[in-house]
Amino acid sequence: MAAQMTDAHRRFLQVLMSHGIMEGSEARKLHRCSCEIHQVYYAHDKLDDFISTINSHLQPLFMQIRKGMSEGDGKAHYALVNLAETEITKMASDYTENELELFRKTMDLIILSENGFASSTDILNLADQLKTKKMKKKEAEQVLKVFVEDKWLSERNGEYTLHTRCIIEMEQYILSNYQDVARKCNICHSLAIQSQVCESCGTGMHLPCVRKYFRAQTEPRCPQCNDFWSCDIPGTKQ
């Protein structure tokens, strides 16, 4: 039988819903704060159990709080995911058809790239090739800005990648629709967009997972085939 939902659980859920996604440290603070306000037993190492209780009550609503990882710094994040709709369908209520087409084409560029990024130049060049309705570059720039604000994309120095929220919510969609190229990280088993790949066997790993896995090794070897890992290890001095 599912554990009882308390006002502490409800508060946690409401705040997470308003944010859409929350970094692990913020979620831990919210867990403690929710328990203290509603005088519910609090244990600092029981956040996942606390969330599991919420998820058991969200199940009939086809919703779930999922944990994921930022590909940039490896930090944990929690996002509320709607399981009843495909993610692109869900976006359809917020964006026009040509905005959605631009997002899909941007996603293609990012997922099919070698490093998990697409340049703003390459994305803007797609704006006047849209089948639904062509966009001017200025208009496309504004749409990209909205995708960043809504946490579907992240931007750094004119390069775009999928936001952590997008990866958590769209993992199944991406694995199904990009079967030839989408891969899970060999270490954390989550979808890896920004990753390094073993030249010998094709095993992929997130950059933070690569850094962590090889930290204590004098000679980096693939965890799958044991061949020498030829990529530069991020965060190490060459």
Distances (CA, A) of 167 to 100, 103, 214: 17, 14, 24
Task: Decide if pLDDT at 235 tops 90.
Answer: no
The pLDDT assigned to 238 comes to: 41
Q: How confident is the model at residue 85 (pLDDT cuts 50, 70, 90)?
A: low
Residue 174: φ, ψ to 5°: -65, -45
Q: What is the mean pLDDT of residues 70-99?
A: 84
The pLDDT assigned to 94 comes to: 85
- Count of beta carbons in the 10 Å neighbourhood of residue 174: 21
3-state secondary structure (DSSP) of residue 183: strand
Sketch out the chain's domains with CATH numbers.
7-61 (no CATH), 88-170 (1.10.10.10), 183-237 (3.30.40.10)
Q: How confident is the model at residue 93 (pLDDT cuts 50, 70, 90)?
A: confident
Residues 105-127 pLDDT 10s: 999 999 999 889 999 999 999 99
63 contacts: CB under 8 Å, gap ≥ 6: 80, 81, 82, 83, 84
Task: Decide if pLDDT at 159 tops 90.
Answer: yes
The pLDDT assigned to 40 comes to: 92
Task: Decide if pLDDT at 233 tops 60.
Answer: yes
The pLDDT assigned to 20 comes to: 87
Least confident of 61-70, 90-99, 156-165: 90-99
pTM of the model: 0.85
